Amino acid sequence: MLPADPMTTANLLDFDLEGLAAFCERLGEKRFRATQLFRWIHQRGASDFSLMTDLAKSLREKLAGTARVEALQVLTQNESADGTIKWLFDVGDGNAVEAVFIPEDDRGTLCVSSQAGCAVGCRFCSTGHQGFSRNLTTGEIVAQLWFAEHFLRRHLKRDERVISNVVMMGMGEPLQNYAALVPALRTMLDDNAYGLSRRRVTVSTSGVVPMIDRLGQDCPVAMAVSLHAPNDALRNDLVPLNRKYPIAELIEACKRYLAHAPRDFITFEYCMLDGVNDQPEHARQLVELVRKHGISCKFNLIPFNPFPASGLLRSPQARVLAFAKVLSEAGLVTTVRKTRGDDIDAACGQLAGDVKDRTRAAERLAARRRTIVLHPARSHAASTTAEEP
């Protein structure tokens, strides 16, 4: 059989259940057929309509002419000594994105990308240094989970679910790809698909304030915020989006989000950068900040994974622990993230893929770095990336 023509057929991975029901109606089918189809695709990993034997033959024939289930092509797969697996997926036009599976005793977490590159341009992030090409479609976001879940079931010879948690912490700023993100999240949560708990799906954001509010209304899940600095001067330098949405506005948005969130705290991610944001004074400023806003939160300190273009170094472990102690002694729950998969460049902030930069973001970051080297007094404080509560 010839492969379905992508120009004239719909990729069913682009639809949440509601979208698939509307598609079935357009084919003259009852909405409940969408539930059957959705289960075949997401729960059983099927992509060949002819094998979906409980669907009427007439429907299977209609689907063959109008629809497809389009997986992403795997360019590379790397497995770390600690069991972490990283895939590089081709998304066309010379772009490739990465997804990472992190196995633990009590859970399996998939870190998923939302964009080819990222336009935010955080200094400590490898993706940010590559610039931005385009948003992923819903289908391309979901395809990372679809592929990983069914690959892992076959690989581990398991019949039941392998991936229990998803973190939108791969390449990209998910809230700058909102329209594609929300149906993808709904598919992850749907009991007819992956059935993940809202508490176990985490969106990580660098702080797109209006979209934090919308997500609270449309599809609340757990939230992690890449804070990385205790004051605006430092955060402006590390996370350029801070110039648009400064810390006070961001934290107030987090407080509003908590009214809808499945967890009663926000996780603040804080990448520890040697001599930049890792001093006791920065920890004390964080304590003050949190107290001033009265936000319920946890801190996750992330050892920085250095890469040459960043010009930044990892904080020594003793400094990270001292920093954590200041926060803990002030009553803030604080964890230090375990580094996973760093032998295959799959650790936090290391995801790079391949990006045809259309924004000159990489160039701008390089220029900023030159300025900082020339004027070191500017780089005095703060930090970085994400994980799950």
With CB under 6 A, what is the number of residues at the site for ligand SF4?
13
Measured CA to CA, the distance from residue 71 to residue 140 in angstroms comes to: 8
Query: What sign results for the dihedral spanned by CA atoms 21, 210, 122, 335?
Result: negative
Of 24, 118, 254, 348, the active-site residue reads 348
Q: State which residue, 84 or 350, has the beta carbon closest to ligand SF4.
A: 350
Of 24, 29, 70, 98, the active-site residue reads 98
> Could you say whether residue 67 binds ligand SF4 (CB under 6 A)?
no
Active site residue 98: yes
Shortest-Cβ-distance residue relative to ligand SF4: 128
Return the SS3 of 369.
helix
Q: Please, are residues 71 and 53 in contact by the beta-carbon 8 Å criterion?
A: no
CA angle 309, 310, 313 (to 5 degrees): 125
Smallest gap from Cβ 117 to ligand SF4, in A, equals: 8
Q: Which stretch binds ligand SF4 (CB under 6 A): 151-159, 168-176, 255-263, 363-371?
A: 168-176
Q: State which residue, 227 or 297, has the beta carbon closest to ligand SF4.
A: 227
Q: Which stretch binds ligand SF4 (CB under 6 A): 13-21, 167-175, 177-185, 243-251?
A: 167-175
Q: Mask 143-162, x = binds ligand SF4 (CB under 6 A)?
A: --------------------
Q: Which of 122, 141, 289, 320 binds ligand SF4 (CB under 6 A)?
A: 122
Active site residue 348: yes
Smallest gap from Cβ 318 to ligand SF4, in A, equals: 25
Residue 180 C-beta-side C-alpha neighbours within 13 Å: 21
> Could you say whether residue 206 binds ligand SF4 (CB under 6 A)?
yes
Q: Helix H segments across the chain?
A: 17-26, 32-38, 57-66, 126-130, 138-156, 178-189, 209-218, 232-238, 247-258, 280-293, 317-329, 361-374
Kindly state the tokens that stand for 71.
Answer: 């997986």
Q: Please, are residues 270 and 277 in contact by the beta-carbon 8 Å criterion?
A: yes
Q: Which stretch binds ligand SF4 (CB under 6 A): 14-22, 37-45, 123-131, 333-341?
A: 123-131
Measured CA to CA, the distance from residue 109 to residue 192 in angstroms comes to: 20
Local structure of residue 343 (DSSP, 8 states): G
Q: Which stretch binds ligand SF4 (CB under 6 A): 59-67, 72-80, 116-124, 155-163?
A: 116-124
Please, which residues have CB within 8 angstroms of residue 146's CB and are 6 or more apart in sequence? 13, 41, 42, 45, 71
Q: Mask 124-143, x = binds ligand SF4 (CB under 6 A)?
A: -x-xx---------------
Q: Which of 47, 226, 267, 334 binds ligand SF4 (CB under 6 A)?
A: 226
CA angle 215, 219, 222 (to 5 degrees): 80
Q: State which residue, 14 or 173, has the beta carbon closest to ligand SF4.
A: 173
Pairing verdict, β 85-92 and 201-205: unpaired
Smallest gap from Cβ 132 to ligand SF4, in A, equals: 9
Strand partners for 74: 89
Q: Which of 19, 131, 172, 183 binds ligand SF4 (CB under 6 A)?
A: 172
Measured CA to CA, the distance from residue 64 to residue 131 in angstroms comes to: 38
Strand partners for 166: 110, 201
Q: Please, are residues 188 and 179 in contact by the beta-carbon 8 Å criterion?
A: no
Measured CA to CA, the distance from residue 171 to residue 91 in angstroms comes to: 13
Pairing verdict, β 222-226 and 67-68: unpaired
Site for ligand SF4 in 267-326 (CB under 6 A): none
Smallest gap from Cβ 96 to ligand SF4, in A, equals: 15
**One-letter amino acid of 174:** P
Q: State which residue, 11 or 95, has the beta carbon closest to ligand SF4.
A: 95
Smallest gap from Cβ 362 to ligand SF4, in A, equals: 11
> Could you say whether residue 121 binds ligand SF4 (CB under 6 A)?
yes
Q: Which stretch binds ligand SF4 (CB under 6 A): 31-39, 171-179, 195-203, 364-372?
A: 171-179
Smallest gap from Cβ 292 to ligand SF4, in A, equals: 25
Q: State which residue, 15 or 124, has the beta carbon closest to ligand SF4.
A: 124
Local structure of residue 315 (DSSP, 8 states): P
Active-site residues, by number, are 98, 348
| Contacts with ligand SF4, residue ranges (CB under 6 A) | 118, 120-122, 125, 127-128, 171-173, 206, 226, 385
